[in-house]
Amino acid sequence: MENSASEIAERLARDADAVCHHYLSKGCRQGRYWIVGDVRNTPGRSLYVRLTGPISGPGAAGNWTDAASGDHGDLLDLIAQGLGLGSIGDAMEEARRFLNLPKADPPVRESRDPAPVGSPKAARRLWAMGQPISGTLAERYLVGRGISGVRNTGALRFHPRCYYWREYRKEDDAPETWPALLAKVTDPDGHLTGLHRTWLDPESAGKAPIDPNRKAMGHLLGHGVRFGTPDDLLAVGEGLETMLSLRMALPGLPAIAALSASHLAALVLPQGTHRLYIAVDRDPAGMAAADAIATRAEDERIEAIRLWPAGNDFNDDLRRTGLAEMRAQLRPQLAAADVARLRVDEAP
């Protein structure tokens, strides 16, 4: 009989000491904890694995935390991240091998076959390996950009060691790994079609010192990163940080980040949209994209209203002038009926 992920994690927790000896052999036991550098079995003292405690819940055996990165999880997470496995199914299979459990029924080919590089399939696998951003480097990065209150946003996840292939590399070069903010790209029905990655510097909590430090994978054309529940009102724009900043000022306004000017111009507008707010980037490509999607919206009998930042974009405004000034800047640009609906006059 096939075991669930939670059942396997509990089996691992019952034998946490043996799991640590096997997968974290460069660490050592100290009292109730196993201490090592990180999930990759690097020598050090940053990662703590609890060896005793209940089987599940707070304080459970097998729970671990990396004090340096803020990463945490159970022993199944540890195996997945430590071995760089591409799906939860692969991690469960490795855990079954360690525990000498019967093999699961043969999985569908989706989880066994190699995923083509950059494909939606690869994007789904990478997304499945992400974790909530609460308390992670990804949350610190966003706070550094003036963006807070998004720790439970379902469109964002964090990956502590996301592969990065340099554009110019030798054939036998191994990929680097950097922490990354993951943003889920979906179609109007909510299906994941792609993923956007922003690689981060663990020391500064800014963008990683690599070029480019952002890449997308999967199918992006017509789709975007969605925030909020679909409604008759919708805001669209280019950048992830731009649209998160706009959502801070107008939290009741659903939004889509198209991730580039060309993709903004081609964004598929959800059915039921009656009024479209377009967050304009003040550069030639951004203004041209805003014009293109406004024309398409009007052709579909959707009212289009451009929102102009005081600076280059709304994240610039948020960081330079603050939330209250940004809301004051937005208020006269909104349709009169939406000022009360979006609670613009309430204190931020």
Number of Cβ within 10 Å of residue 138's Cβ equals 29
pLDDT for 105 equals 45
Question: Residue 348: pLDDT above 60?
Answer: no
Percent share of the chain, pLDDT over 90? 52
Phi, psi for residue 215 in degrees, rounded to 5: -150, 155
Integer Cα distance of 86 and 126 in angstroms: 7
CA 207 to mean position of chain CA atoms: 14
Question: Residue 2: pLDDT above 60?
Answer: no
- Containing 215, the helix (H) or strand (E) segment is strand 214-218
CA 101 to mean position of chain CA atoms: 33
* Contact between 184 and 225 (Cβ < 8 Å): yes
Question: Residue 107: pLDDT above 50?
Answer: no
pLDDT, tens digit (0-9, with 9 covering 90-100), for 326-345: 999 999 999 999 998 988 87
Integer Cα distance of 57 and 77 in angstroms: 15
For 332, which DSSP code? G
Domains recognised in the chain with CATH numbers: 5-112 (3.90.580), 120-217 (no CATH), 225-341 (3.40.1360.10)
Identify which has the larger pLDDT, 106 or 212: 212
Identify which has the larger pLDDT, 30 or 209: 209
- Rounded mean pLDDT of 231-255? 95
Sequence-distant (≥ 6) Cβ neighbours of residue 116 within 8 angstroms = 122
- Rounded mean pLDDT of 175-198? 92
pLDDT, tens digit (0-9, with 9 covering 90-100), for 76-85: 889 988 888 8
* Contact between 279 and 247 (Cβ < 8 Å): no
pTM given for the model: 0.68
- Of 44-48, 60-64, 97-101, 288-292, least confident by mean pLDDT is 97-101
pLDDT for 175 equals 67
Question: Residue 111: pLDDT above 50?
Answer: no
- Rounded mean pLDDT of 135-141? 94
User: Confidence band (pLDDT; 50, 70, 90) for 1?
Assistant: very low
* C-alpha distances out from residue 310 to 112, 215, 236, 313, 338, Å: 50, 28, 17, 7, 21
* Contact between 311 and 278 (Cβ < 8 Å): no
Instruction: State the average pLDDT for the chain.
Output: 87
Integer Cα distance of 237 and 226 in angstroms: 11
pLDDT for 102 equals 54
Percent share of the chain, pLDDT over 70? 91
- Rounded mean pLDDT of 57-63? 83
Number of Cβ within 10 Å of residue 281's Cβ equals 21
Question: Residue 267: pLDDT above 90?
Answer: yes
* Contact between 214 and 198 (Cβ < 8 Å): yes
User: Confidence band (pLDDT; 50, 70, 90) for 115?
Assistant: low
User: Confidence band (pLDDT; 50, 70, 90) for 113?
Assistant: low
- Of 39-43, 118-122, 304-308, least confident by mean pLDDT is 118-122
pLDDT, tens digit (0-9, with 9 covering 90-100), for 294-322: 999 999 999 999 999 999 999 999 999 99
pLDDT for 302 equals 96
- Rounded mean pLDDT of 114-120? 68
- What tokens were used for 247? 């959502």
pLDDT for 57 equals 72
Looking only at the bridges linking them, the beta strands covering 28-30 and 225-227 are unpaired
Integer Cα distance of 67 and 219 in angstroms: 36
**C-alpha closest to that of 123 among 136, 134, 110, 135:** 110
pLDDT for 150 equals 84
Integer Cα distance of 226 and 213 in angstroms: 22
- Of 61-65, 156-160, 344-348, least confident by mean pLDDT is 344-348
pLDDT for 72 equals 83
User: Confidence band (pLDDT; 50, 70, 90) for 173?
Assistant: low
**C-alpha closest to that of 66 among 78, 54, 80:** 78
Where helices occur in the chain by DSSP H, the ranges are 5-14, 16-23, 75-83, 88-99, 109-112, 120-129, 137-144, 240-249, 261-265, 284-299, 314-321, 323-330, 336-341
